[in-house]
Structure formats: structure tokens, C-alpha cells
Structure 1
Amino acid sequence: MVPGENESGLHRIVVVGGGAAGLQIATQLGDRLGARRKAHVTLVDRARTHIWKPLLHEVAAGSLDVGHHAVDYLHHAHEHHFRYRIGEMTGLDRQARTIQIAASKDAEGREVTPVRDIPYDTLVMAVGSTINDFGTPGVAENAIALDTQEQALRFHQRLINGMLRAHTQAGPVRPGQLHVTVIGAGATGTELAAELHRTTRHVAATGLDRIDPDKDLKITLVEAADRILPAVPERLSAEVMTLLAGIGVDVRTRARVTEVRADGVALADGGFIPSELVVWAAGVKAPPFLHEIGGLETTRNNQLVVTPTLQTTRDPDIFAVGDNAYLVEAGTDRAIPPRAQAAHQQATYLVREIPRKMAGEPLPPFKYRDFGSLVSLGHYSAVGNLMGFIQGKNMFIAGLFARVMYRSLYKMHERALHGTVKTALDAMARTLTRRTVARVKLH
């Protein structure tokens, strides 16, 4: 245990996971309780910076510079009256009310922080999700996921290096050499495919004249279901399909992947897609370390089963939010989907209700409201459906208005972390900076 973790005897709130939900909870409870010395709020995460996960496809494509959008946990914690502890959670002792944190190491393998325990009175699990490869051979070795900032940056570097290699090599571009296959046509995969189509052509136009964008560059989107974006309304899916076809993205539906190889992707029908870069974006599950951790109830996908108040079924002092929480919507047999809007609503609920729990008051049930879906195709367009905004009906939107609505979701996230004034100033600064920097990151 770290000396001095609770010298004043205040209630200890520990949030594990600095994603959208976890960082919002730590920030707002820090401002409400930490600043007034009503509680100690601690955020635990293995990374040092935060970036909004729906932006990772832009990081991978090179159209978004991490340095302009990343939130430094240590600085942010200081500004908002909570503490940040670096490390990956490895265990839970519910009797002792502690979580176990692994040692953190630098790039050379030297220990930065030791193995340690962190005590809690209220614990919030917000560790998000990882890819679910469904046991498909070759995924771990030959595909890249987009779960973290590091993975997105690694993919981008491999993409740029591949294009430089093709430009300088002695022979012509080989079949599949500059092909990118994206497996999984949910929101992440679909948005990445569109963004890559634009950015790869921009990179090729910056002096790599030995690469023919129309001949050598190819983006393939693979989906096992009957249509892309299977979780959204069919009209929205059809609109996106038309847009992708218009820009030349090769879309394969009803295509089940059986193996990912170093040189491409094998399909169940015997087909093969040559590709030296493969992104796996098909399916998610909670991190494996959560499975029955501390004797808590979990699902087959490692999610923590929670009650309508987001408390775990076997321990009311432990909450779970976001992708790692499993909650069936009231009056239905459907679980709340792992989406950014669900995580934001759950975080807002806990910020309001944890102080009530500390005061011994009963908690009202969490109520999820589905506001619809938005899909951004970057420079090309955006489409979506807004639910319940006009006399209880759905409204289909596309084009500029949809793009503005999509960007407003990110602004809502930034506002939850930084407040209205700072978010507005940052938006103005980025607008001015965009005029003076490269449209696509080339390194």
C-alpha cells in the first residue's frame, strides 16, 4: 500500500480506467468532493494520457494529431483535485478493500513504479473493452486492433513505412503490398475504411510519385453479417454503403474470416484477400482479468454484471460503467450496448449518485436513453439517425449537419472534462492551427 493514501480518513473513491467514463467520473467527483475535502478521489490507469476512443480511427489514418487532443492524466488530476496512479489493475481483495496494481516500466524495461495495493471505500470499474477475435487463427500475430492510442499510432507508422518502402523499392508494387483489410464493419471499421481512403491518397500525393493511388492502394472492408453497420437502422447502413462504393472501398458482406496471415486474409468460402496490413475491428469483450475477479459475477465476455443502480450484484461498494458493465434494460431482454453515449450517461449518473450513497441514501435506478447513431466518413460525409427529437419520432440526417452533430459529441466529452470556456478556447485554437499544419500526419 502507498504511504499516505488516506491520512485524513476521508472516504476513498477509486476509479479504475481513464477512458471517457472513468475520466469524467474522476474529474467531476474531484471537483465536487476532492476540492472540498469530502473524499479522496483516485484514478488508476496503465497509460499516461487519455484520448477519446471514437477518435482512434483518425489517429490510425493520420488525420488527427494525438498531441493536440491527448489529456495528460497527471496534469489533469492536479487541476481537478484527484490523484492519478499509473499501473494496470491485476487483482481485487474485497475483504481488505484493496485493488492490486502491477509495476509500470519504461520503454527500456526499467521499473518506474512498483507493485502495490490501493485501498478503496467505493470502487468504480471503467476499464472499457478489448477486441474479441473469437479464436480466429493469426489475429494476434498478424492484425492490429484499435483499442488503444499506442495501437493506433503503431498502425499509422506501419502504413507510412509501407508506403515509403513501396516508393523506394527497386521493383513495382507487389499485389497486396499496399492493400489494407479492415475486418468488422461496425462504426470503427467503417469510419476507418473511409478515412484511410482519403489519407493514403493524400500521402501518395506528397512526393511519392511511384505509387499510383487508383492502382496500388486498396481498402477492403469485411463483414460477416448481411450488411455493414448491423447494429444501426438499415436505412443508415444502406446510405453508408452507397458512400463507400462511391469512393472505391471494396466492401465484402457475408464474409467470415477463418485466418489472418502475414500476406492477407482467408475467408470461409475459400476466398483470399491479399493484404499486408490488417485491422481487426470485429467484436469486443471486457478485459480477461475481470473474469470472476474477487468473486464478482461476470458474463462470458468478462463483463461485470450490475444491478439497475450500476452496483455489482455481489458487492454494493463496487460499481461498473461503460463497456465492462452488463446491465439489461428495464422491461426488455436487451443489454445496454457498449457505446460512447451509454458510457457518458452512466458516468453522469454515478457523479450524481455516489455522493448520495456516501450519505447512506437509496439510489434510483439508472435509465438509459438511446439518442440514435452517427457514423462519420471523415472528409466525405456523415450520416445518422436522431431518436426522439421530433415528437417522439426518428430523424435521418446526412451531410454537413450530421458531421456537425458527430463533432458535437466530442465537444460534449471535452466539456465534461474541461468545462465550457476551456472547450471553446481549445476549439478556436485548433481551428486556427489547422490552417498552418499538414492535413495528414506523415511520420
Structure 2
Amino acid sequence: MFKIVIVGGGAGGLELATRLGNKLGGTKRAHLGNGRKAEITLVDRNRTHLWKPLLHEVAAGSLDDGIDALSYRAHSTNHGFNFRLGELAGIDRDNKQIHLAKLLDNDGSQILPETSLDYDILVMALGSVSNDFNTKGVADNCIFLDSPQQAKRFHNCMLNKYLQLGVQETKQVKIAIVGAGATGVELSAELYNSLEQVSSYGFHEIKSTDLKVSLVEAGEKILPALPEKISSAVKRELVKLGVDVRTETMVTEATKEGLLTKDGELIEADLMVWAAGIKAPNFLKDIAGLETNRGNQLVVKDTLQTTRDDSIYALGDCASCALPGGGFVPPRAQSAHQMATMVGNNILATIANKPLSPYKYTDYGSLVSLSNYSTVGNLMGNLSKGSMKIEGRVARVVYMSLYRMHQVALHGYVRTSLLAFVQRVNKVLRPRLKLH
């Protein structure tokens, strides 16, 4: 039996498992020339999947992950692949096995022992984690929005701070966000939207001036990956909301009182979020002798196979894929989506003894959502000739379509349409903000 193991159930990994499961697994298993069947196994340390670009909405309470999260086990049953709850501990390339660490409960008791899985093809889709660049105090005092657990931790802390307003000496909730990329910018706007919502649910004493958000960026402008015109437009919108936007401000230390800058200033904060950069998980560094870069990413060829082992693929944020004209494929959701499609094509080609195809990254532009206030960005590639700036309702529709594309890859068009309908119904039936 041809065995395909995918480690990591993020956007790319789950889309790939779903596609291969639909084609090669489940009750409609496809026979491979010699009569064998393919077995696809997805491994993830979490039980549910949530599209990572939505984590800032979970943090602000605009989205309830309990409703929108997808169960890996239920999804695998419906789409012909296996799901294993576990965390990667090592790769044995000689025997083509991966080793999973023992699974422990919160009290330290063992749930599952250490185990191994055989593979013919291994796909690494482990995504990324926050990179604090070894900045002093960040690990102890800041929250990283790189997982649903961290997003929920921030949300609970935020609600507790709102409860203290007017009860204790607290006069203002101060939140500092380091890093003015998409995550930092979108969270800044979402926080002001959540403030408006929370004031209508019994927190009548809360006013717009009770929240102070500081967005701190070391570079010359916010959203450094976007054109200056878009960056400036977003900055103007954030300032209108009340965000204290600080560019060319380098943070050298995070303390319980706030952020210390290179100039010796203390930016006071009750809650601090670090969103200044990402890297692949540390344990990937030189794992099993595979080539990695300084950011722990697995270096891949244009077929997305790792440079030292053709039976191991890497995709998404944990893959370092060079662009023909220089530079590397950026760590974006659209990259993971495109890579998952190409890895799927190449795995099917391998099974059919056909030649592999090179991956060609297409940049469709970038969009930034400023919650209910605005959406801005630029379209590129096949969506427009050259680059075109869009904003407002049109930009919002395109922004939401990115998430719908992910849902279509997982559920198909009919089920995605039903999910979109249910989401609209929930906006009427359920509170506009998660309050627990």
C-alpha cells in the first residue's frame, strides 16, 4: 500500500490531505497500476483546524473558534484520509519513518505512547511560529498570535481588562502590538471594533477613549510588503480610529510595565502582542540531515521536494523556495494554497510514473482588512493588468473570497455555500462578540 504522510494541518497541509483523500482514499480508493491502494495520513498536534489569517479575529472576539473551527477527525472520515493526533519528534530517512512523541494530558499523564509511521512520501507542512529575534523579555511578557490557544489567551486577558475598567483604578486599557505587518494592522483595527461591540453588552461605562492601542514598527512604514500608497492609506485609517502608529521604533526589551525602545522610551501596556516576524519551528533546524536556512525552513527544489531527499516534500511557511528572478516565495496563505496544489499534482504524477512539474508562484496581490471600517489592498497577476489598488466594499468581497477559496478546497462549492449562509444566519442569531 502506497503510504503518504502529511505533517501539519494548516491551510496547505489540510487542503493537500483532502484532495489526495478524495482521489486516492476512502470508499472511492483509486487503484494504482499494481492493484495497491494509497493510504493518506494527516498528523497534527491539535484536534481542530482554523484558518490562520483569522486568528486576529479570535483574539478580538469577533470570531468564535468553537463554531468556525474544523474537526480534523470528522473531516478525515468524510474525505478518505486518516488523522493522527501527535507531534513530530524525528524523521528516520533510511527506514522511511517518522517518530511521534508521546501524547500527554494537561496533568502530565500519558494519553498515547511514542509511535512511528511508515511513509513512501512525506510532506512537511508545519507552518510557522513567531520570531522574537531573542529580544529580552518578549517570551515572558508578550503574547504570540501564531495559534488558536494564544489568540484565546489574549481574548480572555482583554475581557478581564475591560471588567476592571471603572471597578479598580484602571482608567484605560493599553495594548501594544509589535510588528505592523498584516497581523498587527488587522488586530489593531479589530480591537476598536470589539470595543464598540462590548460596550453594547452591559459595559455601558466603556468609551472609545478607554482603549489605547500602540502599533510599533521598526521599519520606515507599516505594511512593508505593500506599496507606499496603500501603506499610507491604511495608516490614515488607523490614526482615525485612535491607533498610535509608531514607525522607525525598535523594541529592545519587553517588561511587565510595557515595551522599552532603543531610544530609552517606555511604551506602557497592559497587554503586549508580538507580531514582528515568523520562522519555521526550531526543531526543524537540520532535522534528519535535511537542508535548512537561518529561519529553520526546509530548502526545496522547484518541484517542492527537499534538496537532499526526493521522497520528502515541504510546503507553506516551513518551505524555502527560491524565485527565478531572485528572492523567495513569501509566507502567505495564497502561497500555501498554490504549493498544496502543486505538491498534490506531483504526488499523483509520481504514482502514475509521470514527470514532475516545477512550482511557479503567482502573486495575486495583498489585502488588509480593517475590521468593519475598511478593506484595502492591491490586485496583481491574473486578477488585473499590473497592479491595481482597491478598497471599500469591493476589497472586502475579494478579501472574503480568499477564505471561501480555502473552504472550497476543503468542502466543495455546495457545502461552502451552505457554510456561508449559516455564517450570515449566525450574525443575526448570535452575539456580535464572543463574551466568554
| Alignment TM class, shorter chain as reference | over 0.9
Q: Structure 1 residue 299 and structure 2 residue 299: aligned?
A: no
Equivalents in 2 of 1:105, 1:63: separation in Å? 31
Tell me which amino acid in the other structure corresponds to 1:286. A
In the alignment, which residue of structure 2 is the partner of 1:223? Answer: 217
1:26 aligns with 2:25: no
Query: Which residue is 1:256 aligned to?
Result: 250
Q: 1:285 aligns with which of 254, 260, 279?
A: 279
Cα separation, partners in 2 of 1:136 and 1:370, compared to 1, 3 Å: same
Return the letter of the residue paired with 1:378: S
Query: 1:212 & 1:71 partners in 2: Cα distance?
Result: 36
Hey, what's the Cα distance between the residues in 1 that align with 2:207 and 2:184? 24
Deviations 1:161-216 (A, max 9, x none): 121133432xx325xx61010100000110000001110232234323444431x3
Q: One-letter code of the match for 1:417?
A: L
Which whole-Å deviations, capped at 9, do the CAs of 1:102-160 have from their partners, x for residues lacking one? 12223333322211111111000000000110110111100000111111011101110
Aligned counterpart, 2:237: 243
- In the alignment, is the contact (CA less than 8 A) between 1:204 and 1:213 conserved in 2? no
**Residue 334 (structure 2) pairs with residue 341 (structure 1):** yes
Q: Does structure 2 retain, via aligned residues, the 8 Å contact 1:24–1:417? A: yes
- Structure 2 residue runs without a partner (length 5+): 31-36
Aligned-residue sequence identity (percent) comes to: 51
Secondary structure of 1:435's aligned partner: helix
User: How far apart are the structure 2 equivalents of 1:345 and 1:389?
Assistant: 14
**In structure 1, distance between residues paired with 2:392 and 2:103:** 45
- Indicate conservation of the 8 Å contact 1:167/1:209, yes or no: no
- CA contact 2:9–2:49 (8 Å) conserved in 1: yes
Aligned pairs for 1:132-211 (under 5 A) are 132-169=131-168, 172-173=169-170, 178-211=173-206
Structure 2 counterpart of 1:178, one-letter code = V
* CA contact 1:166–1:211 (8 Å) conserved in 2: yes
What is the aligned partner in structure 1 of residue 126 from structure 2? 127
Structure 2: how far apart are the matches of 1:388 and 1:77?
34
Kindly report which structure 2 residues correspond to 1:270-281, keeping only aligned pairs within 5 A, or say none: 270-281=264-275
Secondary structure of 1:419 counterpart: helix
Q: Residues of 2 paired with 1:106 and 1:71: CA distance?
A: 22
Q: Are residues 167 and 85 of structure 1, via their aligned partners in 2, closer, same or farther at CA, if it must alter by over 3 Å?
A: farther
Q: Distance in 2 between matches of 1:80 and 1:385?
A: 35
Of residues 362, 371, 382 in structure 2, which corresponds to 1:369? 362
Cα distance in structure 1, aligned partners of 2:72 and 2:193:
32
Q: Please state if 1:379 is matched with 2:376.
A: no
Secondary structure of the 2:323 match is: coil
Q: Is the contact made by 2:299 and 2:307 (CA closer than 8 Å) also made in structure 1?
A: yes
Q: Residues 61-85 of structure 1: CA distance to partner in whole angstroms, max 9, x if unpaired?
A: 0000112211100111111110000
How many residues align structurally?
A: 428
2:393 — aligned with what? Answer: 400
User: How much does 1:389 deviate?
Assistant: 4.2
Equivalent residue of 1:362, what SS? coil
The farther-off stretch of 199-208 and 138-147 is 199-208
Runs of 5+ consecutive residues of structure 1 not aligned to the other structure: 1-9
Using the alignment, how far apart are the partners of 1:388 and 1:78 within structure 2? 37
Q: Does 1:357 align with 2:354?
A: no
| 1:243 Cα deviation after fit | 0.7
Structure 1 residue 90 and structure 2 residue 89: aligned?
A: yes
**Paired position in structure 2 for 1:313:** 307
Is residue 407 of structure 2 the alignment partner of residue 410 of structure 1? Answer: no
| C-alpha separation in 2, matches of 1:220 and 1:247 | 12
Q: Deviations over 1:28-62 (max 9, x none)?
A: 10010113153000000000000000000000000
CA–CA separation in structure 2 for the residues paired with 1:355 and 1:44: 20
Q: Is the 8 A contact 2:364 2:383 kept in 1?
A: no
Q: Give me the whole-angstrom Cα distance separating, in 1, the residues matched to 2:287 and 2:199.
A: 48
Cα 1:350/1:207, change in 2 over 3 Å: same
Partner SS, residue 251 of structure 1: strand
**Equivalent residue, structure 2, for 1:329:** 323
User: Which of 3, 6, 15 is the matching residue for 1:15?
Assistant: 6
Q: How far did residue 100 of structure 1 move?
A: 1.0
Which residue of 2 is the match for residue 4 of structure 1? none
SS at the partner of 2:344? helix
Contact kept, 8 Å, 1:167 with 1:208, in 2: the verdict is no
